[in-house]
Amino acid sequence: MAIITISRDYASGGRKVGRILAKRLGYHYVDKSLFQKIAEDLNVSERTLESYEKSREYRISDIFSKVFNKSYIQRIVGFDKSVVEEKEYQNSLKNLILKTAEQGDVVIIGRAAYFFLKDMKNCYHFHLAASMDWRKKYAVEELKLPADRVQEILEKSDINHVWFHRLICGNRFDDPFLFHLTLNMGVIPIEKAVEVIISVVK
């Protein structure tokens, strides 16, 4: 029983690699389902949570959270309280990732899983990267992003990626020693990347 985490640049093939890996190994595949569980745990809509994760500006200040307690916010705005507090989010994310990993035989995509599970035994962490040109091509062909906006979308995603991981993991979020292996997807075919990962895990 092993746990595999895949951290990746957007449009570097991470989800595709993860799905193939899970199928080949007979593992569970987790990405969006973990996102839904976090939303339920925080009592917010997935849309609110997505806004929080994707925007550096969507943050509730500590001052606001001290002035108004959670029960008051929920009573005023209902189920989707439109508020995601940083510590609350981090605790929920950490707990859900740990619970997911405890089941074993799982491939977890993103959500800084490599950081929360860095001390867990039989857990393997991989990072997938690629050049901007390769990612643009992949994003248009595989993700169906508009060609005239693809670079803008990727650049914005990269900024938010750095913000999110720095928030969760601190300034050493991209420390290469946190990963067993980093793969350059621009020079390694997806099937080959899967084989390499399996060879490391086994």
**Interval 39-69: pLDDT, tens:** 677 666 777 667 667 655 444 434 344 444 5
CB 158 within 8 A of CB 10: yes
**pTM to 2 decimal places:** 0.81
Q: What is the mean pLDDT of residues 185-202?
A: 96
What's the CA gap between 82 and 162, in Å, rounded?
23
Contacts of 48 (CB under 8 A, 6+ apart): 39, 80, 81, 82, 83, 84
Report the CATH number that the domain containing residue 139 is assigned in CATH: 3.40.50.300
Backbone angles phi, psi at 128, to 5 degrees: -110, 130
> Based on the structure, what is the number of domains in the chain?
1
110: domain range?
3-201
Mean pLDDT over 28-42 rounds to 75
Q: Please name the amino acid found at residue 75.
A: R
More confident site: 199 or 170: 199
